[in-house]
A and B are shown apart, each in its own frame.
Chain A
Amino acid sequence: MIKEVVSVLPVLVVGIPLAFTIAIFAIGSGADALRNRLSVLCVALTFLVTLLMLPDSLKGTVFIYKLMVIIPGIWFYFRVDQLGLLYAVTATALWLLATVSSVGYMEGEHAKRRYFCFLLLCLAWTVGVTLAGNLFTLFIFYELFSISTYPLIVHEETPEALAAGKKYMIYILLGAAFVLFSVVYTYFLAGSMDFVEGGIMSMKLGKTALTVLFWSFVLGFGVKAAIMPLHGWVPDAHPIAPSPFSAILSGIMVAVGAFGIMRGMFSIIGAHIVGELGVGMPLAYIICFTIIISSIIALTQDNLKRRLAYSTIGQMGYIILGIALLTPYGLWGGMIHVANHAFMKGTLFLCAGTIIKRLGLRNISEMRGIAKKLPWTMGAFTVAALGMIGLPPTAGFISKWYLCLGSLEVEKLIFVIVLLISSLLGAAYFLPIVYTAFFQKPLEEMIAEGTGEAHAEEAPPAGEREAPWSLLAPVLAGALGVIILGICAEVHGLPLSAARFATQWFLR
C-alpha cells in the first residue's frame, strides 16, 4: 500500500546543488582546483542523499514535503514516488560521471565558472522536476531548467553554437507554451494538479477535453523528448555542447521530456482513461515512425556526436513506445530504459568527449585506428554500443526484451518488428565506428607502409596512451553500469524493481 511519509530529504536533494551553485559563484573565477572539488563533492552528496530514499521507497513509501503556497490554493511541494526516484537516482548518477568528466574536459577551456555554476544549477532543477509533487511544481522546475541549459549549450560561443542555442530556445519556448496550456487546462478541468496514482480526471469531463489535454501534454513535452517532427533542436544542440554536458542532454534531459508525458498520462489523466480514449495506439504509431526515421538519418551522419544525437531521438522513442502500450511489460521496458539509455548514451558521449579532447577528432571517418591510442576508452565505447544494439548481457537487451513482451501483450506484431529493425539499424550505425577504431589502420600508417617506412610500429609514448583519469574513470564506470544493469537487472534496488512498483500503481 502507499504510505506517505513527511521527509525533508527531497528538499535537500534540490537544496544541496543550489547552495553549491552559490558557493562556486562566490569563490570567483580563479580557484580552479577548489571549484572542481566542490562540484564533484556537491554531485556526490546529492547522489547519496537521493540514494537514502531508495530502500524505503522500494517498500512502498512515498516521501512528501509541502514547502510553500505559490498561488493561492496551489502548493509548491515535493512527492517522491518510485518513478520520480528512478529518474532522480539515474540523473544524479549520470551527473556524477559527467561532472568528474567535466573536470578533465574543461581543463584549459574558457568560462569555467559559468559552466560549473550552470551545471549544478541544472542538476537542482532536473531533480526538482523528478521529485515534484504536482504539475505546477513540475512546470516551475521544467521552465527553470529549460532556460538554465542555454549557457551550457552555447558554451563554445562559436557561431554554430550560438545558432544551435537560438534554435533550442525557439523550440523549447514553443513547447513550453503547450506545457503551460496543459497545466492551466488540467487545473481548469480537475480543480487540482496533484499527482495521484491512477489520475485525477474522470470520463465525465468529456472525451474531447481529455483528448485535447492528452495531445497537449504530448506536444508540449514531446519537444524535449524529441518526438519527430518536434526534434529539430536535438541534432544541433547535442553535438555542439561540451561533451560531458552532451551526455547529460542526451541521457537525462530528453528523458525528462518523456517523464512529463508519463506524469501527464499516469498521474494526471490516468492510465484507464488514456486507454478508454484510445489515444495510446496513435501515439505508438507516431513513435514507430520516429524510431525508424531517426535511425536511418543516424546512418548518414559522419560527425560522431551528431550520429549519437540521432540515436538518442530513436531511443527516446523506445521509452515512449513502452508507456504508450499501456501494458505492464511495456511500462517496465519504457521505465527501465530511462536508466539503461542514460548509462549507455552517457558513456558514448563521454567517450566522444575524450576523443575530441585527446585527439581533436569529431568525424567518424577520421577515427581510423584510434583504439591504439585510447584502448580503454574505445573498449567502454564498444560495450555501450553493444548495449544500444540490444545484445545480451547488456542493459539494452533487458529494455528491448520487455518492450517486445509489451508489444505482444497488445497483440501488435508490428511493434516487435519495428524494434528488431531498429536494432539492426543500430548495429549498422554503431558497429562501423567500433570497426574503424579497432581494425582500420590510421591513414599515416597506411601511407608509411606503402612507402616502405616502417616506423609506425612504435607505440606512442606512455604519457599519450590513455586519457587522464578524470576522463577515463567516468567512461569505465559507465560501461560497468551498462553491464551491471544487464546482468543484475532483477536485483532489488536496481531500476526494474522501482519500475515494477510504479507500474503496479499506475495501471491499477
Chain B
Amino acid sequence: MEVYDIRPLLAPLISLVCAVLIFWLGDNTFLRRLFSISSSVLKWMIVMSMFPASLRGVVYVTELLPFARGIGFILRVDALGMFFAVLSSTLWIITTVYAIGYMEGEHARKRFFAFFAICVSTTVGVAFAGNLFTLFVFYEMLTIATYPLVIHEETPDAMKAGRKYLVYTLTGGSLILFATAMTFYLAGTVTLSENGILSLQHGVNTLFFLFVLFIMGFGVKAAIMPLHGWLPSAMVAPTPVSALLHAVAVVKAGVFGITRIVYNVFGFHLIKQLVVHFSGVAISAGSLLALAAAITIIGGSLMALLQDDFKKRLAYSTISQLSYIVLGVALLAPSGAMGGIVHLANQAFMKITMFFVAGAIAKKTGKKYISQLHGIGFKMPITLATFTVASLGMIGLPPLAGFITKWYICLGALEAKQAVFVAIMLISSFLNAAYFLPIVYRGYFVKPVDGDTAVSEAHWTLLAPCIICALYVIALGLFADLPFVPLALAREAMTTFLR
C-alpha cells in the first residue's frame, strides 16, 4: 500500500540542513555539537516514526520534480530501504557522540562534522531512493562527500589513500551510470519494483552483461574481491569515519545497491532463469555472484589474518563480512535473503563496536598495532570486554547477533541445494575466531610489557558508544523474534521480494 508523505524527504534533508548550519556557525564548539546531536536525534525520530507502518507493509512515497522525461526524483520507503535507514540513523547518533570525544583537539573539526552530516544524509537518500537514477545521484554524492573525511589527516598517506578511493569508486560509479542508462533503454523505466522491471524478452546475453555491469559497479563499494583495494587504504581516516562510513554507510551502500539490483531491477524470478552458456559451461547469474562472494569471504579472512595494523585487520574482516550479505542475497532462497538483509544490521553493530574499541585504544594509549596490545585488558577491561562480545558475535556464537546471520545463510544454502556454501560459512567462522580471539587473548592473558596494570579507561564519550553497541550485539541475537527488531523488517522485505 503506497502512501504519499513528506517524511521520506525530511529524513535526508535534516542532516543536509545540519551540514549547512555547521558550515555557517560551526566554529563555535558548543553550537557544532548542538547541531550534530540534535539533528541526528531528530532524524532518528523521523525515521522511526515510519517504522511501525513499514512493518505492516505500508510504503511511503515522496515525488519531486522529474530529472528528465520519465525519470522522476522519487523517494520511496519500502521495508528494505527502511531497514538501511533505521540502521544508519541509529548508528549516526552513537557515532556522533563518539566523534565528539575522538576529535577533541583535532584540526578542521568544522569540515569534519559538516561532511559527516552530508554523508549520513546521502546514505538515507540511497536507502529511500525510489528509482535507479535517484539511487545513483545519492550514491555518487556519498562518494564525493566521503573524500574530505578520508583525507582528514592531510598527510601524504591520507592524500594517496583519498586518490585511490576516488579512482576506485568513481570508476565503479561510471559503470553504474552505464548500466542505469542501459536499463532505461531496455525497460523504458528505472523505477524500482518489488519483482523487477526487466524480463527475459530482452535476451539472456544482454541481461547477463547488464547484471555483470551492475555488480562490478556496486561491487567496488561492496568490496567484492578484486575490487576491494581502496578499503584497507582508506583506514587512514579518523576512526569515527572508519566506523560509520567504512563499516556501515559507504560499504553497505554498495551491498544495498546489489540487493536492489538483484531483487528490484532484475527480480527474483528473472535472476533464477538467467543462465548463459559459455563454451559449453552453463553459468547462472546467481551462482556467479555467490561464487564471487565465497571467494571474498575466504580471501578477506585470510588477508585479515596477516594484518598487524588493528584497523586494517578490521577492514579485511569487513570485506569478508560484507560478502556474507552478498552471498545471502545471491543464494536466491528465502532464508538466504533474510540472513543477508539482517546481516546489514548485525555486521554493522559488531564491526562498529570493534572500530570504536580500536579508536578508544589508539586515542588513550597511542597503540595502533595488534602486536602492541599486550595486557590492554588490564588497563581497559570494559573496552576489551565489549570487543570480546563483538568478536564472539563475529564468530557466530549463539545467542549473539552474528549467529542469527550464520543460521539463516546456512539454512538458505541448504534450501538452494548448495551445501558447499554452508562449508564456506563454517570455515569463515573458524577464520574469524583465528583472527579475533588472539587479540582478546593478548589483552587479557599476556601481561603488559611495562608492568603497569592500573585501570584507566578512555573518556566516557568513547566508552559509552562501545558499551551501547556491544549491548546491541547481544540484543540483536537474543531478541531476534520480537516484533520491533531488524529481523521482522528483513522478513517483510524478503516476503515482498520473493513473492
Interface residue ranges, A against B (CB under 8 Å): 68-72, 76, 139-140, 143-144, 147, 154, 157, 162, 169, 173-174, 177-178, 180-181, 184-185, 187-188
Shortest beta-carbon distance from A377 to chain B in Å:
32
- Tell me, yes or no, whether B166 is within 8 Å of chain A by CB: no
The answer on a CB contact under 8 Å between B445 and A173 is no
The answer on a CB contact under 8 Å between B445 and A157 is yes
Given contacts A68-B481, A70-B480, contact A188 B411 (CB under 8 A): yes
The answer on a CB contact under 8 Å between A169 and B433 is yes
Using a CB-CB cutoff of 8 Å, which residues 379-405 of chain B contact chain A? 392, 395-399, 404
Q: Which residues of B contact A174 (CB under 8 A)?
A: 430
Given contacts A140-B398, A174-B430, contact A188 B414 (CB under 8 A): yes
Using a CB-CB cutoff of 8 Å, which residues 462-499 of chain B contact chain A? 477-478, 480-481, 487, 491
Using a CB-CB cutoff of 8 Å, which residues 422-444 of chain B contact chain A? 422, 426-427, 429-430, 433, 437, 441
- Tell me, yes or no, whether B407 is within 8 Å of chain A by CB: yes
Given contacts A70-B481, A143-B398, A169-B437, contact A177 B491 (CB under 8 A): no
Q: Which residues of A contact B433 (CB under 8 A)?
A: 169, 173
Task: Report how far A71 CA is from B404 CA in the complex, Å.
Answer: 7
Task: Report how far A188 CA is from B430 CA in the complex, Å.
Answer: 22
- Tell me, yes or no, whether B406 is within 8 Å of chain A by CB: yes
The answer on a CB contact under 8 Å between B414 and A72 is no
15 new A-B contacts, CB < 8 A, other than A68-B481, A140-B398, A180-B426, are A70-B398, A70-B399, A70-B477, A70-B478, A71-B407, A71-B487, A76-B399, A144-B397, A147-B392, A169-B433, A173-B429, A177-B426, A178-B426, A181-B410, A184-B414
Partner of A154, one of B396, B415, B422, B445: B445
Shortest beta-carbon distance from A425 to chain B in Å:
36
The answer on a CB contact under 8 Å between A184 and B410 is yes
Q: Which residues of B contact A144 (CB under 8 A)?
A: 397-398
Centre residue among A69, A71, A169 by max chain B CB count within 10 A: A71
The answer on a CB contact under 8 Å between A177 and B411 is no
Partner of A71, one of B414, B422, B480: B480
Shortest beta-carbon distance from B476 to chain A in Å:
11
Name which residue of chain A comes closest to B429, CB basis. A177
Given contacts A177-B426, A185-B414, A188-B415, contact A72 B481 (CB under 8 A): yes
Q: Which residues of A contact B397 (CB under 8 A)?
A: 143-144, 147
Task: Report how far A178 CA is from B398 CA in the complex, Å.
Answer: 15
The answer on a CB contact under 8 Å between A180 and B410 is yes
Q: Which residues of A contact B437 (CB under 8 A)?
A: 169
Q: How many A-B residue pairs have CB under 8 A?
A: 61
Shortest beta-carbon distance from B336 to chain A in Å:
12
Q: Which residues of A contact B491 (CB under 8 A)?
A: 72
The answer on a CB contact under 8 Å between B430 and A173 is yes
Task: Report how far A177 CA is from B487 CA in the complex, Å.
Answer: 24
Shortest beta-carbon distance from B178 to chain A in Å:
40
Shortest beta-carbon distance from B493 to chain A in Å:
14
The answer on a CB contact under 8 Å between A71 and B426 is no
Q: Which residues of B contact A76 (CB under 8 A)?
A: 399
Q: Which residues of A contact B407 (CB under 8 A)?
A: 71, 184
Main secondary structure of the interface of B (DSSP, over half): helix
Shortest beta-carbon distance from A184 to chain B in Å:
4
Name which residue of chain B comes closest to A157, CB basis. B445
The answer on a CB contact under 8 Å between A180 and B399 is no
Name which residue of chain B comes closest to A146, CB basis. B397
Q: Which residues of B contact A177 (CB under 8 A)?
A: 426-427, 429-430
Task: Report how far A139 CA is from B398 CA in the complex, Å.
Answer: 8
Q: Which residues of B contact A157 (CB under 8 A)?
A: 445
Centre residue among A69, A184, A187 by max chain B CB count within 10 A: A184
Q: Which residues of A contact B426 (CB under 8 A)?
A: 177-178, 180-181
Given contacts A143-B397, A162-B445, A181-B422, contact A72 B480 (CB under 8 A): yes
Task: Report how far A68 CA is from B406 CA in the complex, Å.
Answer: 20
The answer on a CB contact under 8 Å between A69 and B411 is no
The answer on a CB contact under 8 Å between A187 and B411 is yes
The answer on a CB contact under 8 Å between B429 and A184 is no
Name which residue of chain B comes closest to A68, CB basis. B481
Task: Report how far A180 CA is from B414 CA in the complex, Å.
Answer: 13
Q: Which residues of A contact B480 (CB under 8 A)?
A: 70-72
Shortest beta-carbon distance from B328 to chain A in Å:
14
Shortest beta-carbon distance from A30 to chain B in Å:
15
Task: Report how far A184 CA is from B427 CA in the complex, Å.
Answer: 15
Name which residue of chain A comes closest to B409, CB basis. A184
Task: Report how far A440 CA is from B427 CA in the complex, Å.
Answer: 53
Task: Report how far A184 CA is from B433 CA in the complex, Å.
Answer: 20
Q: Which residues of A contact B487 (CB under 8 A)?
A: 71-72
Partner of A140, one of B392, B399, B415, B445: B399
Name which residue of chain A comes closest to B478, CB basis. A70
Task: Report how far A174 CA is from B433 CA in the complex, Å.
Answer: 10
What are 27 A-B pairs at a CB distance below 8 A? A68-B481, A69-B481, A70-B477, A70-B481, A71-B404, A71-B407, A71-B481, A72-B480, A76-B399, A139-B398, A143-B397, A143-B398, A144-B397, A144-B398, A147-B392, A147-B397, A154-B445, A157-B445, A162-B441, A162-B445, A177-B430, A180-B396, A184-B410, A184-B411, A184-B422, A187-B411, A188-B411
Q: Which residues of B contact A185 (CB under 8 A)?
A: 414
The answer on a CB contact under 8 Å between B481 and A180 is no
Shortest beta-carbon distance from A68 to chain B in Å:
7
Centre residue among A143, A157, A178 by max chain B CB count within 10 A: A143
Task: Report how far A70 CA is from B401 CA in the complex, Å.
Answer: 11
Name which residue of chain A comes closest to B414, CB basis. A188
Task: Report how far A95 CA is from B236 CA in the complex, Å.
Answer: 51
Q: Which residues of B contact A140 (CB under 8 A)?
A: 398-399
Q: Which residues of B contact A187 (CB under 8 A)?
A: 411
Task: Report how far A76 CA is from B430 CA in the complex, Å.
Answer: 25
Task: Report how far A70 CA is from B341 CA in the complex, Å.
Answer: 18
Task: Report how far A475 CA is from B350 CA in the complex, Å.
Answer: 46
Task: Report how far A173 CA is from B436 CA in the complex, Å.
Answer: 13
Name which residue of chain B comes closest to A114, CB basis. B444
Shortest beta-carbon distance from B346 to chain A in Å:
13
Shortest beta-carbon distance from B323 to chain A in Å:
18
Shortest beta-carbon distance from A7 to chain B in Å:
23
Task: Report how far A143 CA is from B402 CA in the complex, Å.
Answer: 13
Shortest beta-carbon distance from B359 to chain A in Å:
26
Q: Which residues of A contact B410 (CB under 8 A)?
A: 180-181, 184
Task: Report how far A188 CA is from B410 CA in the complex, Å.
Answer: 10
Task: Report how far A187 CA is from B427 CA in the complex, Å.
Answer: 20
Shortest beta-carbon distance from B453 to chain A in Å:
12
Name which residue of chain B comes closest to A188, CB basis. B414
Q: Which residues of B contact A169 (CB under 8 A)?
A: 433, 437
